[in-house]
Chains A and B, each alone.
Chain A
Amino acid sequence: MGWAEARRWSDVAFGEVALQAIFAFRQGNLPAPEDPHRIVRKARRRVVQSKAIISVFLALIALVAAVALRSAGTIVGSGFVPSTLAPGLFDAGIVTGLLSLDIAFLWWTGLQVLPTFLSAEVLPVLEPLPIDDRTLRQTAALLYVRLFDLPALTVLVATPVFVGLAVGPWAGVAVVPGAVAAVAFALALSLLTARFFVRRVQGARGGGGSTALRWAYLLLWVIPAFGLFAFVTAAPALFEALDAIALRGPSVPAYLLLAAFPFALASLPAVAAQGPAGFGLPTGGVVLGAAAVGYLALAGWAVVWTLRSVRTFGLAPALAPAAGPTPRYDVHPTSPAWAVLVKDLRIASRTPGYAFLLLLPILDAAAIGLWTYASASAASAALALGLAAVATAALLATFFGPAFFAIEVNAYSYGRALPLPDRAVLLGKVALVALLYLVAAGIVLGLSAARVFDPLVFAAFVAAELPAVVAASMLALGILFHRARRRGLPIVNLYAGTWYAVLVSIPALIVAGVPLLIFHDLSAAGAYPGLAGMGAGALAELAFCAPFALAGGST
């Protein structure tokens, strides 16, 4: 026994994790009537595809960072970055952003896959077998690493390669400790927070207070996805702060900055390339060196802790119900369509993947709303930003609409045994999309109210786009339902049918986008002609899409 044996076990177990991640059979999805071996192969292939997509994204982030590092001469002093900023500090700032985003996206990936890792129950299957303790621990560790392998490898390879190409070979070598620490901390953070989510979100009891708490946790979960947006938005302010600290010379803030993660490790390539003189923060050698060594040691400990803890995590008994709640028997039945909407919101409140889809348009609107409030100086600019936020929210809500269909995969087969007309399911999902859009629009209006001097135009814009959002989601969901009826089986699992969900999103995005283009073209003649044209276009789309979507449902 040993690593070779552990690798063999992990290979078998990973096949099961892939199968459950893609097809969710344990959650009630029914297998399609095809060769089971083909289904297994398909699951493995799609897991690789998913990893590849995340890896490409991580590589792109590294490439963008490299382009920024390469263009330092142009960017510094451009207004985006103060002209007094030392080149080394600029490099360190960019690499800090890169490493932060690497951690954020690896963490986000972990939070997505770890609940599936648990629900696949591969470790509890292995545990009673006559396999020695060490091999079981190694198997669990290998399985965990395999969840992240391609994205983690991308960070470990792309970061030094791109930084090396942009700044110089020694800088490429010097960024390796930062990349290693980013991967190590992301893997540990994933495990730590996954435990937390499994206990406090998935396993949380019903009731109003608990629901509010769950949504608060889920907001935290969405933050990594906003890392990129936040970094780009906050970059000028961060560079200004860096410059201000550097100009003060040796000071407590300078030492604190040098000791902070990931700045300490992100500074190493700049020091390697520019030398201590060009780095910009004086007398930081000892602090920087000590911090870098300390973080590397911590990263090593994080790796050991993670690999040792995976087995315990994977074996943790699902969740024990808490004792002693006061029994509540009252239920309040509603219409089937409304019940679908409420069910989806309740499922999303314990399922980070779905919560993310619901929260993204809303958080996007909130971020742009805040930006509007904080930065826009003229009322017209504020209004333009507000309208852009609502337009983005409309497009995002529409784009994710098909994914809400995928919630039906959870116990889909039970849902299909109920006398639930397709029309009710479709209307419930469409109502969810419309609700997201309206909440997002309300947040933008609320946040930018002080600066939007023409709330009537804003409200009319929101109202004129609403029929297009409804039409777009009806079109996308209508296509999915028609296909489901024809095939007689659930067709879209968020992972298994991603390509199809993306495909149906394209016509939906067009439908949601056309009225926005009409507004853009006609608003030169004034806001109200633009709004009238937009509203007319949106209503025409709804008149076309609604009969298509609502036709032919089961009776």
Chain B
Amino acid sequence: MEAHVDPPPLAIEQLRVVYGERPAVDRLSLSVRPGEIYGLLGSNGAGKSSTIKSIVGLVRPVGGSIRVFGLDPIATPVAAKAQIGYVPETSLLYEALTPREFLEFVASVRRLEARAASERIAAYATAFRLETELEEPILTLSQGTRQKVLILGALLHQPPLLVLDEPLHSLDPRSVRIMKELLARYVTVPGRGVLFSTHTMEVAEQLCHRIGILDHGVLRGEGTLAELRGRVAQGDATLEEIFLRLTEEASGVAAAVNALEGR
């Protein structure tokens, strides 16, 4: 008798995203396993956001496949998106709504029960110190506060897969700390996974179980920090050093600094 294997939170195979002539993501394969925070690391324009936008259905890939708990986000977008909580890289919100109105809309779309949704909003708003801003139009809020609203929107339905594009961007240190703790505990619930994009090495090093290094749309390396150190044959290498080695940018950094100093 064949054992039943649950599909992983996220499985990407040979993904290709192209803008005009330029490939943004080129044959990318990766997976987020249950209980895992997977960090997608890359320079600006490496293809992190394009990958994430493909997962949540904002960008249509030209090749490859994506499965969210076995669901195809292109063929069954509503079912797949129901499994995901998404924080975009920029604060894309309905600016004319207040955070409470926005979260009510999200709760309605996700068909949440009023009491559970209200309790979660109260808990997260208190944790992130958002109480006084809940009745102000999003238009009037600071970048960091908008980011908190987006995080609330992503966590409101306690999704089994969190897809976070630079989620700590513009958050205050206290909220960053809360978010890190929250994510570490979040994946302790069986079956949950987190895909987390960042270019902050320290965060990836602290938080992620596995890291994928993306460069010009291509995955240059993947694994735990120890595995990546093994790949560059340097046991005490920092993630920054590993990143620069794998993306072949280490020599470029020195050359750029020398050029700036006129040597």
Q: Which residues of A contact B (CB under 8 A)?
A: 27-28, 30, 33-35, 202-207, 318-325, 327-336, 338-339, 342-343, 346-347, 349-351, 410-411, 413-421, 424, 488, 554-555
Contact = CB atoms under 8 A, between A and B. Distances in A.
Interface residues of B, number: 56
A555 B78 contact: yes
Interface in B72-116: 76-82, 84, 86, 88, 90, 92-98, 100-101, 103-114
Contacts of B78: 419-421, 554-555
A421 B79 CA distance: 10
A331 B135 contact: no
A336 B106 CA distance: 9
By Cβ-Cβ distance, the 9 closest A-B pairs, closest first, are A339-B108, A28-B92, A329-B122, A327-B131, A319-B140, A419-B81, A331-B104, A321-B136, A350-B96
B63 to A, nearest CB: 15
A33 B58 CA distance: 12
Given A333-B107, A411-B92, A202 B137 contact: yes
A554 B108 CA distance: 17
Nearest to A205: B135
A257 to B, nearest CB: 43
Nearest to B106: A418
Given A35-B20, A346-B101, A413-B58, A330 B118 contact: yes
Contacts of B53: 413
B140 A338 contact: no
B94 A333 contact: no
B58 A417 contact: yes
20 contacts: A27-B92, A28-B93, A33-B19, A34-B20, A202-B96, A318-B139, A323-B132, A325-B135, A327-B125, A331-B103, A333-B110, A333-B117, A336-B108, A346-B97, A349-B96, A350-B139, A351-B96, A417-B81, A417-B86, A421-B78
Interface centre among B79, B108, B111, B117 (most CB of A within 10 A): B108
B28 interface: no
Given A414-B88, A419-B109, A205 B137 contact: yes
A95 to B, nearest CB: 40
B20 A33 contact: yes
Contacts of B184: none
Contacts of B118: 329-331
A207 B101 CA distance: 10
Given A35-B20, A350-B137, A333 B113 contact: yes
Nearest to B20: A33
A455 B221 CA distance: 76
Interface in B31-64: 53, 56-60
Interface centre among B77, B79, B90, B141 (most CB of A within 10 A): B77
B241 interface: no
Contacts of A204: 137
Contacts of A335: 108
A418 B137 contact: no
Nearest to B19: A33
B187 interface: no
A555 B132 contact: no
A287 B137 CA distance: 49
B92 A329 contact: no
Given A410-B96, A555-B78, 6 more contacts: A206-B98, A318-B139, A324-B132, A347-B96, A410-B95, A413-B58
B134 interface: yes
A91 B100 CA distance: 56
Contacts of A416: 56-58
A342 B141 CA distance: 22
B58 A30 contact: yes
B109 A336 contact: yes
A34 B88 CA distance: 22
B92 A414 contact: yes
Contacts of A330: 114, 118
Contact of A320 (B57, B81, B84, B140): B140
Contact of B104 (A322, A332, A418, A554): A332
Nearest to A354: B96
B121 interface: yes
Given A411-B95, A413-B58, A414-B93, A555 B140 contact: no
Contacts of B81: 417-419
A322 B136 contact: yes
B222 interface: no
A329 B110 contact: no
Contact of B134 (A33, A324, A329): A329
B141 A321 contact: yes
Interface centre among A334, A419, A554 (most CB of B within 10 A): A419
Interface centre among B82, B90, B122, B136 (most CB of A within 10 A): B136
Nearest to B98: A206
A339 B109 contact: yes
A419 B58 contact: no
A320 B137 CA distance: 10
B205 interface: no
B95 A27 contact: yes
Nearest to A206: B98
Contacts of A555: 76-79
A29 to B, nearest CB: 9
Contacts of A413: 53, 58, 88, 92
A493 to B, nearest CB: 15
Given A35-B20, A321-B132, A327-B134, A332 B96 contact: no
Nearest to A553: B78
B109 A420 contact: yes
A329 B140 CA distance: 19
Contact of A347 (B19, B77, B88, B97): B97
A325 B100 CA distance: 13
Nearest to B55: A417
Nearest to B116: A333
A346 B95 CA distance: 11
B136 A554 contact: no
B88 A417 contact: yes
Given A321-B133, A327-B131, A203 B139 contact: yes
Contacts of B95: 27, 410-411
A340 to B, nearest CB: 8
Contacts of A318: 139-140
B20 A329 contact: no
Contact of B135 (A328, A346, A414): A328
A202 B19 contact: no
Contacts of A35: 20
Interface centre among A203, A322, A330 (most CB of B within 10 A): A330
A329 B30 CA distance: 38
A346 B108 contact: no
Given A206-B135, A350-B96, A333 B19 contact: no
A346 B76 CA distance: 30
Given A333-B108, A418-B109, A343 B137 contact: no
A120 B42 CA distance: 29
